Amino acid sequence: MSATHSTTCVIHPSATLGADALLGEGCVIGPHARIGTGCRIGHHVVIHADTVVGDHVRIDDHASLGKLPMRAANSATTKEQELPPLTIGATSIVGTGVVLYRGATIGEKVLMADLCTIRENVTIGHGTIVGRGVTVENLCSIGRYCKLESECYITAYSTLEDRVFVAPGVVTSNDNFVGRTAERFKHFKGVTIRRGGRVGAGSVLLPGVTVGEDALVAAGSVVTQDVPARTIVMGSPARPLREVPVEQLLENQGWVDA
Amino acid sequence: MSATHSTTCVIHPSATLGADALLGEGCVIGPHARIGTGCRIGHHVVIHADTVVGDHVRIDDHASLGKLPMRAANSATTKEQELPPLTIGATSIVGTGVVLYRGATIGEKVLMADLCTIRENVTIGHGTIVGRGVTVENLCSIGRYCKLESECYITAYSTLEDRVFVAPGVVTSNDNFVGRTAERFKHFKGVTIRRGGRVGAGSVLLPGVTVGEDALVAAGSVVTQDVPARTIVMGSPARPLREVPVEQLLENQGWVDA
Amino acid sequence: MSATHSTTCVIHPSATLGADALLGEGCVIGPHARIGTGCRIGHHVVIHADTVVGDHVRIDDHASLGKLPMRAANSATTKEQELPPLTIGATSIVGTGVVLYRGATIGEKVLMADLCTIRENVTIGHGTIVGRGVTVENLCSIGRYCKLESECYITAYSTLEDRVFVAPGVVTSNDNFVGRTAERFKHFKGVTIRRGGRVGAGSVLLPGVTVGEDALVAAGSVVTQDVPARTIVMGSPARPLREVPVEQLLENQGWVDA
């Protein structure tokens, strides 16, 4: 069956819609965009030029996909550039009001909850959850099967490996010079969270810190130094408390990638 | 007078619009939705199937009401289910870009400010304010005359009784196992805030804590244990400081429910 | 060249569009709105009555401009009032899903990133960046060349002078009585950040505090008292640590206003 859409949609003639795709009212599909088979697209969704949406993706109302970066005259990190199209893997879900930039690469089975933003030059791995209202700034690499819970903030130049868990309201930062000195442009450094690292609710991670493999930052901590692997840290500034309990280690969860 | 809307709206023939209802441009009203008398609805508002909007409700631009939950393959708490329609009580106000899920029950005179999200299986009591950008996750009960200030985050499985005050940027959490062990599914536990309990700006509440009746958590605290009634706690971890001043107790405000 | 727009737009006959302005699909332009020369406006943008948009402004999808305040029966700070139109200076940028209220005055070259909200009775100075998801509540004055980074929260009645830097996730507050006593209405007091003051990631500022000129609040602090000029404070509660390094002082940046 061919795709179905109302006369209220504006679809560029060079765009392609997969079989059985279903569009809501008032959608706008730009030049050369490609929508996969069986997609379910809500109302007033905007899909900009060249975006590639995989098969069986759900996109909810008022999402805007493939947006071009904005540049402020005085922004420290965003330069003009050629960006590849936004791509979204099969069976991913895009929530209401989500904003995805051109130059992001989203894997399969990724959940992007309502009102999250994913910037340019970001990759998101297979099966990851990007929670409600989350920001992933530009130049980040997010692994497979991560959970970035509601309202956490991932600063530019960060790396999160597979199976990382970031709790609600976590804030990360990347500028130790807090907006001063020309030196700082050489030293912008996001955070690194190694495989299976976990960060508790409302914690703050300072620029450049690394949370080690399978380590755990307790809720409400302020992390000013690297966190050793398999260690729980707590407090402000966060200090080592004890080892992560064996039954909580990643290797003992019996999880299989799928 | 009958309802007024432009030809840019798409209204399902089974939907009903109350007398004097006024719709903006590009609204989409789904099957069996019922819009009350005298409602004022902005532009590009989407109201999904079966939603019931009471009389004299204001709904601002780009709001999306009655949304079906998204399910991630690896979400811990959202199961497939039959949900009753979203209902919104009379004279409530729904801000710009607000997202309300099917299965939420909103009382009368509730203010839902811009860009807030209220999930499925949530009740919000009469006269409560849900601030800008606030998230109320699924399976929460929020009482009457509460104030959930801007950008606070209410985790799933939480109970807030009447007259609760949650300041801006408060973060709550519900998983003491931080995403690990099968055990955790039995132990998810949101927060409980008893009648008149207050939580100061930027505080973090750990899973399962109870803030007692008329208690006060000072701004910037990390609450790891239950807070006794009428007690001020402060710090990280929060410890009792003194009694709440008598003139601040709920019983001395002269407030009448109305 | 005259302005270009599709038949899917609804433009009030009393609105004026500048030469070379380009509108996306489904835009709604209200009575007496004035759009400057060379503006680039996305899809489904709503511009309410009387709004004045300067020349060469970029406005992205789903933004809503010139919104009238909502009033809750029990809101403490919003009274009915006559508001002047929203005005936006030339070459400013308005991100996706942004909400700007009637009664805000935005300077030139201001960047308002995705999903930020600026309330009524607010002024924003030339060249300031308002980050993604930021809230500027009503009755605030924000200076020139400030950076309000992603997800920070500026409470009502606050004053930020020129060149202020507020890092991601900072929370400010204005009610020392936390919603109790009739006395509080006389004492609402936002925060004041003097010229060049900087506040680190995830910090909390209590009601009425002043951050002195060129002072620095370290990340994750809870500021309960005024911060002296050119001083670094840290911790919860924040205490003076040392002087701001000379090379980080505003006077040593060689910045020229432009």
Contact of B215 with B233, CB cutoff 8 Å: yes
Q: Are A200 and B179 a contacting pair at CB < 8 A? A: no
d(CA C134, CA B115): 12
pLDDT at B132: 98
Average pLDDT of span B82-105: 97
Does residue C183 register a pLDDT over 90?
Answer: no
Write down the ipTM of this complex: 0.94
pLDDT value, residue A98: 98
d(CA C231, CA C217) in angstroms, rounded, equals 8
Closest CA to A216 of B208, B175, B203, C169: B175
Give pLDDT tens digits for A155-182.
999 999 999 999 999 999 998 777 887 7
**Who among B96, B198, B216 is closest to C67 (CB)?**
B96
C175 at interface of A, judged by CB pairs closer than 8 A = no
The pLDDT score that the predictor gives to residue B4 is 82
Check whether B256 has a pLDDT greater than 60: yes
**Residue in A with minimal Cα distance to C237:** A236
Asked if residue C81 has pLDDT above 80, the reply is: no
SS3 content of chain C, % helix, strand, coil (to 5): 5, 30, 65
Specify the pTM: 0.96
> Is the model's pLDDT at C200 over the cut of 80?
yes
CA-to-CA dists, residue C217 to A110, B38, B60, C116, C239, angstroms: 37, 50, 38, 24, 9
Looking at chain C from residue 35 to 94, which residues have their Cβ under 8 Å from any Cβ of chain A? 42-44, 58, 60-62, 93
pLDDT tens digits, one per residue of B117-145: 999 999 999 999 999 999 999 999 999 99
User: Pick from B46, B137, B206: which is nearest to A219 by CB?
Assistant: B206
Weakly modelled stretches of chain A, pLDDT under 70 = 1, 72-81, 257-258
Closest-CA distance of chain B to residue A18, Å: 22
HSE toward the beta carbon, residue C174, CA cutoff 13 A: 24
pLDDT of res. C172:
97
What is the nearest CA distance from C233 to chain A, expressed in angstroms?
14
Question: ∠ CA(A178), CA(A179), CA(A180), 5° rounding?
Answer: 100
Best mutation site among B8, B135, B157, B199 for testing chain A: the one with the most A CBs within 10 Å?
B135
Backbone phi and psi for residue C185, each to the nearest 5 degrees, phi listed first: -65, -25
Residue among C111, C115, C145 whose CB faces A117 most closely: C115
Q: Give the pLDDT of residue A82.
A: 85
Q: How far, in Å, CA of C241 to CA of C228, rounded?
A: 11
Quick one: pLDDT at residue C126? 98
The residues, ordered by sequence, that sit 6+ positions from A140 with a Cβ below 8 Å of its Cβ are A119, A121, A122, A123, A154, A156, A157, A158, A159, A160, A190
Question: Which ranges constitute the DSSP H helices of B122-242?
Answer: 184-187
How far off is chain C from A86, nearest CA to CA, in Å?
Answer: 16
Q: What is the pLDDT of residue A72?
A: 58
Greatest Cα pair distance, chain C, in angstroms, is 62
Give the confidence band of C4 by pLDDT, cuts at 50, 70, 90: confident
Q: CA nearest A199 in B: which residue?
A: B178
- Tokens coding A115: 């009102």
How many residues are present in chain A?
Answer: 258
Report the amino acid identity of residue B120. Answer: E
- Cα–Cα distances (Å) from C173 to B107, B251, C21, C139, C254, in that order, read 28, 25, 40, 13, 33
From chain B residues 229-258, the ones with a CB under 8 A of any chain C CB are 235-236, 247-250, 253
pLDDT in tens, B232-254: 999 999 999 999 999 999 999 98
- Which residue on chain B is closest to A257 by alpha carbon? B74
Q: Measure A84 CA to nearest chain B CA, in Å.
A: 27
Please tell me what DSSP assigns to residue B225. Answer: S
Give the closest-approach CA distance of B203 to chain A in angstroms: 8
Higher model confidence: residue B48 or residue C185?
Answer: B48
